[in-house]
Copies of this chain bind each other. A is one copy, B any other.
Amino acid sequence: MDSPNALQALAALAHETRLAIFRLLVETGPDGLPAGVIAERLAIAPSSLTFHVQHLHRAGLVTQSRAGRQLIYVAGFAAMNGLIAYLTENCCQGAACAPLQRSA
């Protein structure tokens, strides 16, 4: 992941509502959740949910697919993995953040 992408991912997560959405989707796993359920669980307006979830989508942190008349959102683990790798490589030089290592 390069700096512009990392910046986009950081900005996407740097909002209370969006971080909550992402965490809910991570917790939910690969089946994801329809927009309406996310909005209901987090008590936010539908159009507000769309706004935030699209922000996450642009950053690759969320995947969208249709199931009948509902849109299912799933956490995008690759992007999160990329962000963590970016932070580890670019912001932890000099062994200062040595406790983290890649194993696979």
Contacts and interface: CB of A to CB of B under 8 A. Distances in A.
B77 A87 contact: no
A39 interface: no
B90 A80 contact: no
A44 interface: no
Contact of A92 (B15, B26, B97, B100): B26
Contacts of A103: 99-101, 103
Interface in A60-102: 75, 77, 80-81, 83-85, 87-88, 90-94, 96-102
A104 B97 contact: no
A58 interface: no
B97 A100 contact: no
Nearest to A101: B103
